Structure 1
Amino acid sequence: MQEASARRAADARVAALSGSRVWQVVFLGTSLTLICAGLIHMTAFVLTSETGTRALSMDFRVFWSAARLALAGEPLAVFDNARLAAEHGVDTRDWMPWTYPPGYLLLILPFGAMPFAWAFLLSTLVSLLLIAWALRSFTPGAPAVWLALCLAPAYIPAILIGQNSILWLAGLVAALAALRDGRWLLAGVFIGCLTLKPQLGVMVAVALVGAGLWRSILAASLTALVLAALPTLALGPEYWPLLLERLGEQSERLVRSIETLTLMVGPYYLLTLLGLASQTALWVQFGLSALCAVFVFLLWRSRAAGFDAKAAGLLLAILLSAPYLWYYEAALMAVAGLFLLRAGVLGASLPHLGLLLLLWLGAAPQAVNVFLKFGDGRYLGAMIITPVLLASLALLLSHLLAAGRGASQTAAS
């Protein structure tokens, strides 16, 4: 999907982001990521070594306790919040449900055989190693950029609570690398694996349809089918009705309590923060999601748009179209910045570098603020992230229109 000359030009733009100042910024940002990761994992080992403390108050406790229940031969008990809470023993009155398909439960099954701290550490290491592997082909000759994206501050929220956003992002980047190289079936397999966390994958399907990548669509569909059917055989068909029931309940709770969910960062939450009624804001979000789908379809259908611009547009559309965008999902912003840089949308000007920095940081300031309390977290999240995403999309659209006019003038002459 990308000619050799366009690929070399994109690689050169990334490689140009070097020098001592760049390395200084990279050192500061990646050090922050490592410090946060080190502190949370050290805390996990220290606290769980104490008698009676089984897990930490974080999202990973749900994954760990679900894996333990499944290993104990009770996979359907993952939909019983009381059983999950009894297994991890932390914040037992909190609403922290299991909302994943059966394939993901089988994937994390090994975590249930480990103590919480070791399972949490392994999850983090695997996620970071996979994103580092996936990013290699997009950062050749640019070690500073590669390192910056391997340990981007935007990953801090996911690391601190043990979420799976980095793992999902690694799968998406691997799929994009395969698409760029024309490895349609492999790309489809990677995309099919993304259905283990399906809520962010709608725009990926739209992109494939827009580009007419039917072999990738077939491979993705077959992979998704296998990842749904085989685990269902192992866990039982009763899994799906329970999952659908839990997803409906989760959606209703989110709509009712959206104004209080200060770790949301998407347009829907921003609109409610600005005073719009929850139901009205949700309809506006649905409209924005529809516009994002049209944009992705046309972008990936276009022969004039370059591959990196398509990848950047897809990532931005994923983030802007998600009705419930949590701060840990802002991990995708760092890679969106990479593709905007590769596409030539972001250059070396100070405003562009500032926007690139904000994309790289993602929701890290909001995550750090949870512990340091240096401001109102709402204004460090949605008030910053949604405008940054919209500004990035506006620059991308401007770039695409300028490229289109240039191509038309060249053809006319």
Structure 2
Amino acid sequence: MIGSPREARFGGSEPRRGWTWLAPWIVGNLVVLGLFALDLRHLDGGMVSPGAYWGRDFVNVWTAGRLLIEGRLELLYDLAGYHRFQLEQFGRIGQHNYSYPPLALPLALPFGLLPYPVALLAWLGATGWFFVRAARSWWVRATGLPAWLVLATPAGLVNIWAGHYGFLIGGLLLYGWRNLEARPVLAGICFGLLAIKPHIAILVPLMLLARGEWRAIGAAAVTVVVLVAGSAALFGIDRWIEYITVTLGVQAALIDAGNSFFRFMSTSLATGLLHWSMPRTTAFAIHWAQAALAAAMVVHGARRGSTQQVALLAATATFLVLPYAFNYDLTVSAMAAGMLLYVPRLQGWERRLVLGGFMAAQLGMVLVAAGIPGIALLLWGLFVAQYRSTVTATVER
């Protein structure tokens, strides 16, 4: 094994507490509180804006469940047919698409059995509970704060507003890293389940290889193979062909988000540069250069830090590497920033970088509105602070 995973208190000292530390939570959540207020103001029979329904992206989870129950899966990746089906269910809803691979369908099934409002509450409740359980030991030990507060980070509230997968994906990442040393096969299964949103796991294989975690790698690979083969057997190989040939192209097109709302939520430096009308070749060259730097720094950190430090460092780096990702999936990065905010050993400039990273999911949207690729820049600040903490901290055994 390259390096030795060493568990330690995050930051190595007693956490800071006090009412002054509420300020980042209050200021960091102002944007999404405003978005909730706008949705309530425009709420009309479930519609919260032209084309958007309450719970926003959760309509795709529920729709997939309904299509599975009704035996109409041929519509799942048929953009026109999928939209017609949603018009039947929701009325004047705008164009959506199911952007997840067929192996995610069993997850949608139980929610499709419920009325939509009940299903939305069950989705947020179940995934939120899962994330709290996964985060509890690291979060409470580092901050001394109640575990449920990990749901109220700026990224957590964006995920609630968007009705997205951020708590589920974040929980799988945390359970995987937490079990890596004691139960590597279980850790690998958790990492394999990330195939629900496979791009979010882009750095996991690299980290496991850097640390020589062969049992976890094997378990993850077997899990993915079983999920792909099982879903092909259950739902047909055509669903996979449609996902690869149609849906992946639709999602890739969102990297150049233009003036759509997606650009406000994108964590991608490439998206920000393209909005400046930078040539695609130049924008992607810059993006991949900084992505390579981030990946190299994570590999170096993997040789020096504890499993916990490496896990949280890689979680932030993921969104520097990916050209396609959004702020509702920053739940683990926001948690990492929150943990760093509550320990005293950081220098003043580092603490300011961490504070910006903590608020990146929402403050970054304001910067994007001003024409600055703010989420990516704020995440770089957080990443630098995490990297320094990982490679320089004195680890308590």
Q: Same fold (TM over 0.5)?
A: yes
Letter aligned with residue 296 of structure 2: V
Shift, 1:329, TM fit: 2.5
Q: TM-score, normalised by structure 2?
A: 0.83
- For residue 268 of structure 2, what is the aligned residue in structure 1? 266
262-271 vs 91-100, greater mean Cα deviation: 91-100
> Counterparts of 1:207-356 in structure 2 under 5 Å?
207-251=207-251, 253-255=253-255, 257-258=257-258, 260=260, 261-263=262-264, 264-300=266-302, 302=303, 304-338=304-338, 340=340, 347=345, 349-356=347-354
Q: Which runs of 5+ in 2 are unaligned?
A: none
Equivalent residue for 2:15? 16
- Which runs of no fewer than 5 residues in structure 1 stay unpaired? 368-374, 408-413
- Residue 135 (structure 1) shift: 0.9
Alpha-carbon shift at residue 270 of structure 1 (Å): 2.2
Q: 1:163 deviation in Å? A: 1.2
Q: Who is 1:378 aligned against? A: 369
Q: Match for 2:306: what amino acid?
A: G
Q: 1:250 to 1:175 in 2, by over 3 A?
A: same
User: What is the CA-CA distance between 1:66 and the residue it aligns to?
Assistant: 1.7
The aligned residue for residue 383 of structure 2 is: 393
- Taking the aligned partners of 1:114 and 1:205, their CA distance within structure 2 comes to 36
Alpha-carbon distance between aligned partners in 1 of 2:91 and 2:279, rounded to the nearest angstrom: 30
Write out aligned runs for 1:33-182 (5 A). 47-48=45-46, 55-56=53-54, 58-89=56-87, 94-141=94-141, 142-144=143-145, 146-179=147-180, 181-182=181-182
Q: In the TM superposition, what whole-angstrom CA distance separates every residue of 1:158-200 from its partner, at most 9, and x where no partner exists? A: 2112111221011101111112x43211111110111111011
Residue 93 (structure 1) shift: 8.3
* Richer in helix (by share): 1
CA 1:27–1:292: 2 relative to 1, 3 Å = closer
Distance verdict in 2 for CA 1:333–1:172, change over 3 Å: same
Stretch of structure 1 that moved more, 124-133 or 382-391: 382-391
Find the aligned partners of 2:391 and 2:171 in 1 and give their Cα distance. 30
Contact 1:82 1:92 in 2 (8 A): no
Q: Are the counterparts in 2 of residues 63 and 108 from structure 1 also a CA contact under 8 Å? A: yes
Q: Which has the higher contact order (CA 8 A, sep 6+)?
A: 2
Task: Give the CA RMSD over aligned residues.
Answer: 3.6
Q: For residues 62 and 156 of structure 2, what CA distance do their matches in structure 1 show? A: 20
The residue aligned with 2:191 is: 191
Q: Which amino acid aligns with 2:280?
A: S
Q: Deviations over 1:373-403 (max 9, x none)?
A: xx675339x6332222222233344445656
1:265 Cα deviation after fit: 2.9
- Once the two structures are TM-superposed, the CA of residue 365 in structure 1 deviates from its matched residue by 4.2
| Partners of 2:155 and 2:362 within 8 A in 1 | yes
Q: Is the 8 A contact 1:320 1:389 kept in 2?
A: yes
